[in-house]
Structure 1
Amino acid sequence: MKNFHPTGGCPVRDVISRLGDKWSMLVLITLNANGIMRFSDIHKTIGDISQRMLTVTLRTLEADGLVERKVYAEVPPRVEYCLTDTGGSLIPHIEGLVRWALKNMNVILEHRQKVSNRI
């Protein structure tokens, strides 16, 4: 259990904190479903993410080695994003979480309603 100690580096906490934000998993799923994409295409596909937040999310995912950014020396410059092998290896786990959420969402909502009725 020393890997989960609050004063040391915990890989589980570190990864979950990076992927547990509002947009990271959605960006990864979008890139997985569509392959190589330009920024504007990712933005259009997700819809309600701001350009600033998409930029921050893509930079974070790139820094973690989950997304690759390729810049083409053209006028105007073209930038494309895709999953790395590491990012692709995460997809089955995200899909498993999505399946679990879909299967259990009604039960979770029922429990939330019971608790909110008690308050």
Structure 2
Amino acid sequence: MNEIVTQYLAVWNTTDPAARRAAIVRVFTADAEYTDPLMAVRGHDEIDAGIAAAQAQFPGWEFRLAGEPDGHHDQVRFTWELGPAGAAPVVVGFDVAVLDQGRIGTVYGFLDQVPA
């Protein structure tokens, strides 16, 4: 579970479009769904566009794991932070990822701390 979470966060931090797309294909199933309070997307193309939009909104910021992932069966939950590299996080949330044969099939995202 730790490895898939590490790979997932790396996807969100990959800014090169070709490398990000390749990582999405490796980490997510073809029909994967991602839903959080700000977006609901399905499939590699929409996931890629959603991540690119988040990167454009927060240029130079990075996603970091906060704490240890907690997983059982084919699901894992974990807390993440988003902020400028080397600085305190500005956004904190947690995601629940459901795996399908070792890749992510569904992600439910929640935001715990957002800027005013």
TM-score, shorter chain, exceeding 0.5? no
Bigger radius of gyration among the two: 1
Which structure shows the bigger proportion of residues in strand conformation?
Answer: 2
TM-score norm. by structure 1 comes to 0.29
Alignment TM-score, normalising by the size of structure 2: 0.30
